[in-house]
């Protein structure tokens, strides 16, 4: 009896996530990346078109100072030299404030830009929003954007532990083509 109940609950949860994923449309590979202007942890404004001519790894994550988000950020930081060698820029986006990002960068020694999207406008444009206990958070998705401003690759349902390594591999392949 308990197995059937548990199985039903797991099925309903899975269905709910699948329906949520279907209603959110991420921009597809080969389409122009939506431009934006967001505030960084130092208070300056960053726009995507300011990075034309470079590869951009635009990653969305739920919340500063949480375990998965910290692991993902640390791994991007660990690999930052490899991204620089690949002439790629890493930009992180969440609904946290610029001050929260500043504190998170200081605590974790992050040397790439984290962008504040407190009203989830950009996260929504990228189909990267989720509802958590009645609060809008950025969903863990990543976009590789080529130097012409086109989306080259989309990752959904990212696993923080191995993500940076996978992005680097894919970036190397994309640069060959």
Active site residues: 69
| Residue of 163, 158, 147 lying closest to 77 (CA atoms) | 163
DSSP H helices in the chain: 2-23, 67-78, 80-85, 98-108, 121-125, 160-176
What single string gives the DSSP state of each residue in 14-39?
HHHHHHHHHH--PPPTTSBPPP-EEE
Assigned token pair, 48 = 């995507």
Distance from C-alpha of 33 to C-alpha of 31, rounded to nearest angstrom: 6
Backbone angles phi, psi at 66, to 5 degrees: -100, 160
Assigned token pair, 172 = 């190397």
Quick one: which H or E segment has residue 88? strand 88-94
Distance from C-alpha of 161 to C-alpha of 75, rounded to nearest angstrom: 8
């Amino acid at each position: 009896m308990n197995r059937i109940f548990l199985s039903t609950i797991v099925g309903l949860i899975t269905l709910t996530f699948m329906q949520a994923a279907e209603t959110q449309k991420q921009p597809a590979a080969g389409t122009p990346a939506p431009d934006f202007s967001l505030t960084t942890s130092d208070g300056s404004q960053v726009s995507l078109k300011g990075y034309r001519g470079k590869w951009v790894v635009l990653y969305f994550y739920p919340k500063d100072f949480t375990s998965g988000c910290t692991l993902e950020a640390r791994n991007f930081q660990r690999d930052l030299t490899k991204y620089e060698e690949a002439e790629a820029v890493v930009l992180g986006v969440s609904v946290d404030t610029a001050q929260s990002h500043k504190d998170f960068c200081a605590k974790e020694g992050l040397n790439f830009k984290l962008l504040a999207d407190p009203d989830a406008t950009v996260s929504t444009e990228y189909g990267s929003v989720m509802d958590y206990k009645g609060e809008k958070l950025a969903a863990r998705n990543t976009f590789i954007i080529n130097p012409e401003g086109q989306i080259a690759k989309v990752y959904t349902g990212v696993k923080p532990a191995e993500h940076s390594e996978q992005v680097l591999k894919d970036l190397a392949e994309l640069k060959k083509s």
